[in-house]
Structure 1
Amino acid sequence: MGEINWDNFSFDDIFGDDSNYSYSTGMPSVLSDSAPCRPESLEINKNIIITIYALVFLLSLLGNSLVMLVILYNRISRSVTDVYLLNLAMADLLFALTLPIWAASKKNGWTYGTPLCKVVSLLKEVNFYSGILLLACISVDRYLAIVHATRTLIQKRHLVKFICLGIWALSLFLSLPIFLFRKAFTPPNSGPVCYEDIGNNTTKCRLVLRILPQTFGFILPLLVMLFCYGFTLRTLFEAHMGQKHKAMRVIFAVVLVFLLCWLPYNLVLVTDTLMRVGVIQESCERRNDIGRALAVTEILGFLHSCLNPLIYAFIGQKFRHGLLRIMATHGLISKDFLAKDGRPSFVGSSSGNTSTTL
């Protein structure tokens, strides 16, 4: 990467005096001839953030482990959608393992060196991209199953494994800019940070590194989901298929929660990009507003890793029954209690074994 040129370093690249983790986005300032804007500190108690991260870590570790256990245990009834949800739980679990490190960095600054900085940043990006790509694949699966009643692709469940491998590979590729340019260093008058060091790359190069992942890793999958679920819902309502609509509640809830958690952060990133390329007029006040918005919305994104298991527990009747069945098999609860819970009715789709066990 080379040495950092501190003469050209401005504090608008670091989010506040008290920020130990940079929420900045690696884009160049378009106010190069003006005095640098010194961002205002975000008034959020670090202990509150650390507590939130700790709770998310514990809930995610427990919840996603149980989700993976239930799906892997139900081999016979495992569907295409279940395979996607299994990979989604894996992504959330891997990211959750980095939360103690993020929490510690909030307290003491980034004291863990460049290699760990690259790894945890990579896992965060891979978690986001794999999440939205997996949800896009689920939407296509539901679209084919319900709108077109297609059997050919979705019944060949071995193909799903290759699709999932492709999603992981694409997520890694989209996350490469963060992995390549993140490093640990200590700027003047600030604590150590884990931050992008772009070096002397041009504005055009920086724009490409921002826009390509946003386009292929967020905007396009989002459009695919809107298209597929739009036609899927229309088909369900037109055909008055109440049972199938009920069976889709879990999937719709998962998609909705993902968007509620990650859409605000990505909209702020898009706004930041538009500001830095001159589409939106830049000012110190606007920069500070975007910096604060990035800080808050990223915390919201971090929360997502523990929410899917809660959705399955409260909405997914089959998930609850599957978990209770595992507990009864190992003597943790009585079989009478399992019988009282009842066996949920199997609601399939017109394409065969594509109904989720969650």
Structure 2
Amino acid sequence: MENDIQNSTDVMDYSDYSYTPRTITPVMICEQEDINTFVTSYISTIFYILFCISAIGNSIILIILVKKEKLQSVTNIYILNLVVSDSIFSVTLPFTAIDQSYNWIFGTILCKMHTAAFHIGFQSFVIFITLTTLDQYFTIVHSWSTSSRLRLRYAVCISCIAWGISIILSIPDVISYTVINNDLGVTLCKFSAVIGDQTYLWLSIGHYKHFIVFYIVPLSIIIFCYIQIVLKLAKSNLRKKSRALKVIFFIALLFFLCWTPYNILMFLLFKKHIELFADCSSVPQYIFHICQTTVYVHCCMNPFLYAFLGTKFRRHLKCSFKRHTSRNISQQEISLKTSLANGI
């Protein structure tokens, strides 16, 4: 569903479509040059920046997790899966930026691969955020060991199931998305009903899957878990454990702040409140694209949360930086001594 919305920001054909229960006739929202310029000049640039930041940050965290942490806790296993999900999701950003600036130029196969990466990355990301929060809940509230062998096995099995669910739920989107040419001859990678004339039905399924399964349910679980954790910490006054919660708490908070405005807006649009855009006013158009962009911002924020809020990650980063710096200094000194000796 999100891919269908994002592809509506095409430069030459800036249009979106509303499918109501009574009709599946596409309704054009707007065609505005200033909005097109805003999308192609600013939003696309942000996507490129987000991709670069995400790639660097996730690579650093992946190295620390594998080499330093050794994946000896359930939390680290879920964080590793979060990094993988985040990486898969961020890979779609350059393609989205190019699509917004130059239309879809990559063909049908890459269109479906882009759709698969987008949905698998996003869906698995939300699942692992929820699982990480649940892990913190059971560890603190119920005093479960986070490093027991049995829990580690369960975490690996649950992670495999989570990936399976993400892949299975992405199959309908991969099947439905294809490369089409609109009335203006612009090539788009977007939703196209393939089973009879049931466009609205499949759009409805995609909308409610996203809104309920990957927003309402995870948000409810996260809120419940953190309420219980806060109550537990308030009674026990365990400050050390509360510090360890910072990373997970801010990840959940970032998820809420980034996704809530977009989901509310998408829910209103889907429920026939499309009149919001009927007059082609610039303000609601900007609001729509800003809300949509905040959804993508979360893919690059997590590495910084790990680096600046996580004590272990920060310590590993400092040690690695000092080791790398001292090694470079030693090499420079050896090279300088060798040069001087040769010169003499």
Normalization by structure 1: what TM-score? 0.78
Partner of 1:315: 309
1:60/1:96 contact within 8 Å kept: yes
**Compared CA separation, residues 315 and 38, structure 1 to 2 (3 A):** closer
- How far is the alpha carbon of 1:245 from its aligned partner? 0.9
- Report the secondary structure of 1:184's partner residue: strand
Which whole-Å deviations, capped at 9, do the CAs of 1:122-149 have from their partners, x for residues lacking one?
Answer: 2112222111111111111111111111
**Compared CA separation, residues 36 and 147, structure 1 to 2 (3 A):** closer
Which whole-Å deviations, capped at 9, do the CAs of 1:312-335 have from their partners, x for residues lacking one?
Answer: 22222210211333455xx41339
Which whole-Å deviations, capped at 9, do the CAs of 1:231-287 have from their partners, x for residues lacking one?
Answer: 011111121111111111111111111222223222222222222xxxx58575289
1:117/1:182 contact within 8 Å kept: yes
Partner of 1:249: 246
State the alpha-carbon separation in 2 of the partners of residues 140 and 118 from structure 1. 33
- Report the secondary structure of 2:151's partner residue: coil
Taking the TM superposition and a 5 Å limit, the aligned residue runs for 1:274-353 are 274-275=271-272, 285=278, 293-327=287-321, 331-334=323-326
1:20/1:110 contact within 8 Å kept: no
- How far is the alpha carbon of 1:291 from its aligned partner? 6.3
State the alpha-carbon separation in 1 of the partners of residues 62 and 179 from structure 2. 34
- Report the secondary structure of 2:190's partner residue: strand
- 1:261 partner amino acid: C
Partner of 2:192: 197
Taking the TM superposition and a 5 Å limit, the aligned residue runs for 1:101-250 are 101-151=95-145, 156-189=151-184, 191-199=186-194, 200-201=197-198, 203-250=200-247
Of stretches 61-70 and 102-111 in structure 1, the one that deviates more from structure 2 is 102-111
1:20/1:191 contact within 8 Å kept: yes
- Report the secondary structure of 1:185's partner residue: strand
Of stretches 240-249 and 145-154 in structure 1, the one that deviates more from structure 2 is 145-154
**Compared CA separation, residues 129 and 159, structure 1 to 2 (3 A):** same
State the alpha-carbon separation in 2 of the partners of residues 137 and 286 from structure 1. 43
Partner of 1:353: none
State the alpha-carbon separation in 1 of the partners of residues 192 and 51 from structure 2. 29
Partner of 1:267: 264
**Compared CA separation, residues 312 and 139, structure 1 to 2 (3 A):** same
Of stretches 259-268 and 307-316 in structure 1, the one that deviates more from structure 2 is 259-268
State the alpha-carbon separation in 1 of the partners of residues 72 and 26 from structure 2. 60
State the alpha-carbon separation in 2 of the partners of residues 126 and 223 from structure 1. 21
- Report the secondary structure of 1:157's partner residue: helix
**Compared CA separation, residues 190 and 263, structure 1 to 2 (3 A):** farther
- How far is the alpha carbon of 1:86 from its aligned partner? 0.8
State the alpha-carbon separation in 2 of the partners of residues 313 and 307 from structure 1. 10
Which whole-Å deviations, capped at 9, do the CAs of 1:68-120 have from their partners, x for residues lacking one?
Answer: 11011124573211111111111111222232222222221111112111111
Aligned to 2:75, which of 81, 85, 89? 81
- Structure 1: gaps spanning 5 or more residues: 1-11, 336-358
1:27/1:273 contact within 8 Å kept: yes
- 1:18 equivalent in alignment to 2:18: no
Taking the TM superposition and a 5 Å limit, the aligned residue runs for 1:1-16 are 15=8
Partner of 1:28: 19
- RMSD over aligned CA atoms reads 3.2
User: How many positions carry a matched residue from both structures?
Assistant: 317
- 2:48 partner amino acid: A
The higher-RCO structure (CA 8 Å, 6+ apart) is: 1
Which whole-Å deviations, capped at 9, do the CAs of 1:304-357 have from their partners, x for residues lacking one?
Answer: 2111111122222210211333455xx41339xxxxxxxxxxxxxxxxxxxxxx
Partner of 2:340: none
- How far is the alpha carbon of 1:164 from its aligned partner? 0.8
